[in-house]
Structure 1
Amino acid sequence: MKDLPVPRLPHRRGGNRLAIMLARTAEQVRAATVPYKVGDVVLGDDPFNGRQVGTITVIRGPVLGLRTACEGHPDFVPGIVYYDYRQVRTPD
């Protein structure tokens, strides 16, 4: 009996790049819906994090990272607090 060679399927190289490109595009679309930009001073109000004023330093999808000053309150440590962009507004 004669052995027949098994045909090899062509290797697709662009499949991984396509997934990466789609993931980046999806991240940009989610970030584009946030009405704030890095450097804006905002007031975050959340039942778990409390109410804090800070500067936006990180935007990851619908989440904003606020760098807080925490001046005058001994319990707060300066750092980055994360809020959903719907829980953030500009101070009056």
Structure 2
Amino acid sequence: MSLIVFARSLRVLIWFAAAMQRWSTPRLLARTHLDPSTRETVGALVRYSVLVSGFMIVMQTIGINLTSLSVIASKSAVSKATCCRSALLDAIHQQLAQREIKAA
């Protein structure tokens, strides 16, 4: 029984996420000054955030406790963000070091 509920919930979730993307891209984001590629990117981010949030809700609904998974995911996200920040800062410093400094 629980597997059927899980499958139906995922089907509804995927449909809802696609509907949110279809709604947000042409209607909501068309009123902004963003170019079309940025609108599509924001629409995709809306879809993915709805999918992730909905998947967590579906898993909690069928009885799977996601507390430990949330802790592991947050630790992983923090470590990835720190790594990306370090790489970005190194690239910026390298670009600045390659510039010639002109005397005023």
Q: Could you tell me the TM-score, scaled by structure 2's length? A: 0.29
Which is bigger in relative contact order (C-alpha 8 A, separation at least 6)? 2
Structure having the higher Rg? 1
Greater fraction of residues in helix: 2
Q: Could you tell me the TM-score, scaled by structure 1's length? A: 0.32
Greater fraction of residues in strand: 1
